[in-house]
Structure formats: C-alpha cells, structure tokens
Amino acid sequence: MSWLRRLFARKRMEIDLDKELRFHFESQVADKVRSGISPNEARRLARLEFGGIDQIKEHCRESRGTLWLEAILQDIRFGLRQLRKSAGFTVAAVITLGVGIGAATAIFSVVDSLLLRPLPYPNAPHIVRIWMTFAPRGMMEIPLSEPEFLEFRQSQNLAHVAGFSVGTITLTGSGDPLQVTASWGTSDFFTVMGTAPFLGRVFTSDEQLQGQAQVALISHRLWQSRFGSSREIVGKSILLNGQSCTIIGVMPEKFGFPGNDVDVWEPLPIGPLSDKIGNHYLNLIANIKPQVTLQQARSEMMTILDRIMHRYPKYYGGAAGLGVSLIPLRQQMVGNLRPTVLVLMGGVLVMLLIACTNVAGLLLARGEDRKREIATRSALGATRSRILHQVLIENLLLFGAGGALGLLLALACIKALSAADYLNIAATGGVKLDLRILSFAAAVSMLTGLIFGLVPALKASRSNFNDALKTSGRDEMGSHYRTRVRSLLVISEIAFSLVLLTGAGLMIDSLRNLLGVNLGFNPDHVITMRLSLPEARYSIAQTAAFYEQLQDRVRGLPGVQAVAIVNQLPMSDVSANASFDVEGRPSNTDINVADTLIISPEYFRAMGISLIRGRFLDGEDATHPPASIMVNETLARKVWPGTDPIGKRVRLGPSYPWLSVVGVVADIKNHGSNVATKPEIYFLLTRQMFQIWIDLRSMSLVVRTASEPSQIVGAIRGHLKQLDPNLPIYRISTLKDLVASSISQTRFPALTLSLFACAALLLATIGVYGVLAYTVAQSRHEIGVRMALGAQQGQILGLFIAQGLRWAALGGCAGIVAALVLVRFMRSLLFEISAYDPGNLLAVIAVLSAVVLLACSIPALRAARVDPAVAMRNE
Amino acid sequence: MVTEGRFDLPQGTLDLLIMRVVALGPIHGYAIAQRIQQMSREALQVQQGSLYPALHRLEYKKFLTAAWQPSETGREAKFYELTARGRAHLRSETENWKRLTDVVGLILKGTLEGIS
C-alpha cells in the first residue's frame, strides 16, 4: 500500500522535493561564489543553468510510479474548478445532456413497454383475437355468435378457443353498492391466457355449461379494496346484480384482460344447443398451435366460415365479402397507438441528435478556448497522457451530471406518461425505466463528448507551444477548418429543429382543428353519471318509472336547469344501433342503419342541441306507447333527401309499430370530434316501451346546472339512496372532461411534440448563439482591423447577421427536405390538415428564422461595438 | 544533456553512472552531478532536469534508498545509498556494458577505412 501512504504523504514528498532541488541550487550558487563570481551574478547564472524547476518537479513526480489515484483526485478537483469557473458552459452542457438523455430514455421506455416487451400473459405470443369481417361495409371487427364460436372451436390449428364478453355488474353487500366492470368467459378463457389465479381456482367447464352455478373470480384490486386482502375470501358469497355468487378465486395483480378495469370474471353459459346465429356479441381469443402460421390458421378459419354459411343459408344468404381476421393480441391492444408512439420516438431521436450536436459545438468552442491552457500545461511538463486524462475526467464529470439530470427527468417523464390513461400503458404491464436505454442514450452522448472533447485537447497538446500561444485568442474569419465544423454543427441543429417544429406545428394545427369542431351540443356546465338497473328487480315499466322519479327529484335541486337521461352519451364508448324500414319503400337493412338513442324529453335542452325542423318530443309523447321519434340531419338527408321528413314513418322491423318523425335536430359529434356523425334516431323511454334488444336499463343522467356542475353530485347521490340504496352510480364526469378526453389521442402527441420542439428550439438557440458569440470573440482583432480601416458599425453588424442567416438558410433547406420525407409517417395522427401544409411550413420557417436572428443579434451587436483601439491593443 | 564539446549519453547509461557513483558511499544529488563531471574529466555534465527524475526513478525501483543528513556545509541534504538490489543490478548492468563495449570495440577498431 505504498501508493496509498504516498498519497497521504504527498505534501511531505512535495516539501522534500522542493528542499532537495533548492539544496542543489544553493550548492551551485555557493560553488560559483567560491570561484569568484559576485553572489547576485552567481544566482542569475545558476538559475539559467537550472532551467524550469516545475518541469523537473513534474518529471520527478512522474518517475515515482503512476500516481493514478492521486492524479485522478487531482484531476477531479481541477475539473470541478474548471467547470465552476465556466458556469455558463457547464449549465448549458448539463441541461442539454439531461434533456436529451432524459427524454430519449422516457420515450423509449414507453415504446419498449408498448411495442417490444412481452405482455404479462404467459401465452401472449400465441394469443390471437378472432373477428369476422365484412369488407363491403368496412366492418373489420365483427364479434361472433355462439353457434359460430362452437364451429370455430373445432379448428385443428388452434389449441384453445374461448369466447368472452364485457359489461358492468352491481356489487352489493358489505359497504356501498359498487358498479364494476365484469367479463364473462367460456371455460377455456383462462387456459388461453395461460394465467393461473393468485388464490383459489378458475371455473370448470361444468360450471360454464350450467351457467347457473354462480361462481366468480375477482381482481386483485377488488380483493384488496373491498375484501381487505383476506385469504379466507375463497368460498365466500357475494351479491352480484342482487344474486348470490361464490368467489372461487382471485386473479393476480397484473392480470387485466380483456380490460384493465375488469374486477369480476364469471362463466359465460354457452350450451351445445345454442342457435342464436344472428346474435354477434362474442369476442374470441385463441391459442395458435406452435408451428402454425397466422396465414394457415386464417385459411382454416375461412373453410370453417364456409361451412357455417352453408349450414345457415337463411341467415347468411350467400353474403359475399364475409371473412375472418386473426389479430395477434399485442397488435389488437396497442395497434392504434403505434403511429403515436413511433412519431414520438422519431421526435425524441431527433432531440437526442440535437442534444449531441449542441454538446459537440459547446465542447469544440471550449476546446479552442483551452488551447492556450493546455499548451501552457504541456510546456510546464504535463505529458500528453496526463492532459488527456484530465480532459477525460472533466468530460466524465460533465456527463455524470448530465446523466444524473437525465435520469431524474426520465423518471418524471415516465410518471407523467403512465398517467396519460389513453396510452393504456397499464394493460401491457406498466412502464419501467429501461436501464439499457438509459445507458444507450448516455453512451451516445458520451461518445459525442469524447470525440469533440478529446480531439481538440489532443491537438492542442501536440501542437507547438509557441504557435498555440500566438494564435490562441485570435482566429481569422472564413476559410478555417474548425469554423467549418462548427458551422456544420449549427446548420444540422437548425435542420433538426425544423423537422421537430414541423411535426409539432402539424399536431397543434390538428388539435386546434379538433377543438374548433362544432360539437353540436354545449359541453359547459353539464355533469353526467351512469346507472344500471338490475334486470331482476326492474321491468321496463319500472325502469321508466324509476328514471322519471329520479329526474323529478334532481330537477328540484337548487341550480339545476335541465335533467335528462340518455342511453349513449357523446364521447362514451357505449353505442347501440339498429336497422329500420322506411314506409312505402322495400326493406333495405344494409343501408338503413341508425344509431338508436333512448332519451327523456328534456335531453336536447340539457345538452343544448338545437332543433332544425318540426318540434321536440315532449312529456305528452311520453305518456303513451312510442309513436313519435326525432332524427338527426344526417339521417334526414340520407333517407329523405330534398323532401320534408316531418310526418314520414319508419319501423325497426316487421313486428314493430310504425313511428313518425316529428322533428329533426342538428347533428352532434356523438362518437368523438374526429368521427363523422352517423344517422341517428331518438326514442323516448316510456312506461309502455316495446321490447327492443337495446339495453334500456343502463342510462346516463345528464344534468345542466347554473354553476359548477360537479358540486351537485353529492345531492344526487342522496336522492338515489332514498330511491334504491343498492344502486351504484359510476362514470361520474363533466361533459367537458368527456370531450377533452376524447381528443387525447391528438392532444397527447401535440403537447409532447410541442415540448420537444420548444426544447429543440432552445437548444438550437443556445447552439447558434454560442457558436456566433465564439466567432465574434475570436475575431475581435480582425474586427478591430476592419474598423480601423474604415468599416462602419452597420457593416460589421451585417457581416455577422448574414453569417447567422446563411446558417438558417442552409439548415432550413436541409430541414425542409428531411421534414417533407418524415411527416408522412404522422399522417394518421393529423386532423383536417395535410402533412405537407404550406402554411405550417411557412410558419415554422418564420419562427426558426426569427429565433436564429435573435440568437445572432446579441453577438453581432457586440461585434459592432468593438472599439478598434482596444481590440488591437489586446493582442 | 547535450552541450558543446561534450557528447550524448546513450539511453539508459545515466542510471548506470549514477548507481556507480552512489556505490562509493552515501551521497547527495549535487555531489553526484559534480562527481560524474569530475570522473568524466569534464566531458559529461549532467543536467538537473535529467538527474533528479533519474534519482527518483531509481528510488522508486528500490535500487536506491534516501535519507536526510547534514551535508558538508551543515545544511540538510538528501543522501542516496545503494540497496542490495541496486548493487546486484549495478553489477549485472556493468557486466552487460563491458561486454557491449568490447563487442562494439571489436567491430569498430582499426582505421577509419572507407569513411574518410
């Protein structure tokens, strides 16, 4: 451990070394004095002979072995001092690195969890979803009916096939009633998923067949929140929709299929005698056998479909264009997010490039600045490896700080991204910080740092001391290799920023277009909530009576302006439709399809939907069996173009009564701002309502208030408890929030890309400013000469502004080309704007030019204010 | 190490000369330089820039040890002494040197035929 001792005895050694050399020097002087030279002269001569004492010392130090630990500590101290001394550079570099590394790590972690990491189901790679398709009507994901499911189950290429459906169910007993999402699955459901329960067992095929066995599995979440994580829960009974049901198992925490919000799984009773061929409600999942391709499985499915069509000729009637599609589970789950995620990934890559470029530029400029320092140090005896070590350590410090900042930013970003529920990240197992990605991003920027940090240092340490001291601090403008490299860096930064700005601009325009869409209703001051009356306790007449009472009570609350119910609220995923016949025309159920909205009379007033023709449905209409309906403009235009629809009659089928149109309402965006309005028919929910396959018991309550609408929820809850204490309310939300969340698919990438673009713009500004300021500083002498020779301030100013504009022009051109190539990848995210929108491109160019000009003007003004006398005296 | 009228020392020979001088008894750096100059009849003048790094190198390699002692003038000076290891090294290096000079001498002896 001699090196360790020496490390602590360093001071001692330095003193000894000094003493030893001093002794030599004094002896030399003494000898000269003895030979008759005057003491002063002797000292002068001895000093000349002796040479550079620091150089000797350094060589002595080095010959005493490699003092690596000491050297490293010294380098770290020195490095920290250097970084502190140039705080501007340090802050800029650390922020640049942090933003680049952090953003890249966060976005790539999301990409990884959505697109790359295995789903949290053991069988996931072999799981496919099965849909029927009907291309002629553009229907690509049609659920299947029970007989079809039983046929598909015969497949040789599929190991297991399971059907499931999703809905909500009321959980009562032990605490407040709770409306939970439930899934009903056939016995193979858990076999296909390959997930074993956390507690208990899954249901058997017997339990599935009987259907009446009344068993259920519950989610880990429900087990914790409702049953206090009690292990004795298995075998206990709970009340589901008022019926007693035995809990046979608890699913593991990560299991969230078919949706992350599912809390209860029950067996789906399907018998071999199912004959409801027309009832397409079953979702199918299956395991593809190993060594079977998707293509093979699909062609077998097509054969089976042919068989089905022959067996049920009356139902299918040889319909051409029917098909089957098999979609891998992951694609099904994240398929529509793919473009968003890929665009973000592209954005973040460009961002990392900008960050690297910026750091490179900063380091280059700094390297130039330190040429003199390095030359001095090598003149004082520092070897090249020592200097390189020092620069390396300094870079490591810089990148360590940048990396740490990046890590923090990445963690914060991941937290924010996980909270964006539309990304549906939880369903794929949540985002984890990916250390591989963090190290990759750090390595990329580190490599940049090494290249652009070490190369100048290497050059400086090799160069001749005199030359270095002479040229440093002055750098002629123009044809200089290093100037060219710096210009290239700035130009690429501008180009990269332009690409990001273009993308962000397009997203923001899309968002603005979406926000500007005329919804057809007024979302302000409206609160909505959903109720589901259990079938066991409520007949249709009772349902209608219940909702009438509830509306009457809520109407009496202070501040309430209008109360109504509706089965499908705008921007919700509830949707019901039906085909209809038009009086006096042949039945054409392929074309005459409309969304069916069940409402109460005040619905249009509560929503703020305006009347186009005729009259609104009123309380009078509600007192007798349905005879009147309203339609929206789209339906009126489609079915009765050019004629007045008032008084025309339609019916839902041969066994249904004729209904006459009494009014036409304005189109509203029922399925989202970016979805075209479908034909719609509005019915009143009445006590004498005819039997119809639409769920009439689940309704959304819509309440328009004078002030802040969410304050009224408590009062509504109170009235509800009086009417039916076992009825939960769920999906409580203001209409405004519903509208906002419906455009999150655009809002999210718009905000993220804008953030990237702002950061990129900031980095580019720093880059342009830094390089030009540096050029100005280097050219002070030349500016001085020019001014002394008669150049005006304006000319000098113009010189540097022109330099900045040249960069902007070159970078802009390169950026436009790159942007035009890249933007087509984001086409599917855009709304009512072309990816090549010239307005957007012009705006981006204008913004970028303005920023470059701003970044240039400060150093250029500084250049123009150079006092020639001072500048030239400086040298 | 090069000065007019004198000549270059082949690489590595300085260490050998220093150890040879130190072998005569404890001695400080300045005296070593003086002694080499004397013994070479003023032909070799060792510069401090070479001497001290060499001394420290030899000390690090444990061929020399050093101790602070009063010098002839009374001031404290760092006196170097040969270690056993250094003595063995000096012996084998001296052997090597002799053999080398003998061999080189064999080849170079005789007239400068063909040169002048």
pLDDT one-digit tens code per residue, A223-244: 988 888 888 889 888 888 878 8
The H or E element spanning position B6 is none
Contacts of A52 in chain B (CB under 8 A): 49
| Residue contact B52–A56, C-beta within 8 A | yes
| Residue contact B75–A62, C-beta within 8 A | no
Q: How far is CA A81 from CA A93, A346, A375, A397, A399, in A?
A: 16, 38, 19, 11, 16
The answer to whether A50 contacts chain B (CB < 8 Å) is yes
Determine the distance from the C-alpha atom of residue A282 to the mean position of all C-alpha atoms in its chain, rounded to a whole number: 31
The H or E element spanning position A193 is helix A189-193
Question: From A59, which residue of chain B is nearest by alpha-carbon distance?
Answer: B53
* pLDDT computed for residue A275 by the predictor: 58
Contacts of B55 in chain A (CB under 8 A): 60
| Residue contact A19–B78, C-beta within 8 A | yes
User: Domains in chain B, start-ordered, CATH in brackets?
Assistant: 13-108 (1.10.10.10)
For chains A and B, CB pairs below 8 A equal 58
CB contact at 8 A, A666 and A632: yes
- Tell me the pLDDT band of B1, cut-offs 50, 70 and 90: very low
Per-residue pLDDT at A254 exceeds 60: yes
Residues 6+ apart with CB under 8 A from A293: none
Phi/psi of residue A291, each to 5°?
70, 5
* Block residue for tokens 């080189």: B104
CB contact at 8 A, A744 and A737: no
Q: How far apart are CA A305 and CA A310, in angstroms?
A: 9
Q: What is the mean pLDDT of residues A140-152?
A: 85
| Residue contact A51–B71, C-beta within 8 A | no
* pLDDT computed for residue A475 by the predictor: 46
| Residue contact A23–B30, C-beta within 8 A | yes
What ipTM, to 2 d.p.?
0.83
| Residue contact A56–B48, C-beta within 8 A | yes
For residue B106, the distance in angstroms to the closest alpha carbon of chain A comes to 36
Q: What is the mean pLDDT of residues A555-576?
A: 89
Exposure of A187 in the CB half-sphere (CA atoms within 13 A):
15
Q: How far apart are CA B63 and CA B79, in angstroms?
A: 14
| Angle (CA) A149 A150 A153, round 5° | 85
**pTM greater than 0.80:** no
Per-residue pLDDT at A668 exceeds 90: yes
Which pLDDT tens digit goes with each residue over A617-654? 988 888 888 889 999 999 999 999 989 999 999 998 88
Per-residue pLDDT at A616 exceeds 90: yes
For residue A27, the distance in angstroms to the closest alpha carbon of chain B comes to 7
Give the DSSP letter of residue A113: I
- In chain B the first and final C-alpha atoms are separated, in Å, by 28
Of A24, A52, A59, nearest to B53 by CB-CB distance is: A59
Of B60, B68, B71, nearest to A64 by CB-CB distance is: B60
Per-residue pLDDT at A66 exceeds 60: no
Contacts of B60 in chain A (CB under 8 A): 63-65
For residue B63, the distance in angstroms to the closest alpha carbon of chain A comes to 13
Phi/psi of residue A381, each to 5°?
110, 0
Tokens, residue A18: 């000094």
Which pLDDT tens digit goes with each residue over B22-64? 998 899 988 998 888 888 888 888 888 888 888 888 888 889 9
Per-residue pLDDT at A470 exceeds 60: no
For residue A71, the distance in angstroms to the closest alpha carbon of chain B comes to 17
Q: How far apart are CA A146 and CA A280, in angstroms?
A: 8
Of B52, B68, B76, nearest to A21 by CB-CB distance is: B52
The H or E element spanning position A630 is strand A628-632
Phi/psi of residue A246, each to 5°?
-90, 130
The answer to whether A867 contacts chain B (CB < 8 Å) is no
Scanning A7-46 for CB atoms below 8 A from B yields 16, 19-21, 23-24, 26-28, 30
- Tell me the pLDDT band of A319, cut-offs 50, 70 and 90: low
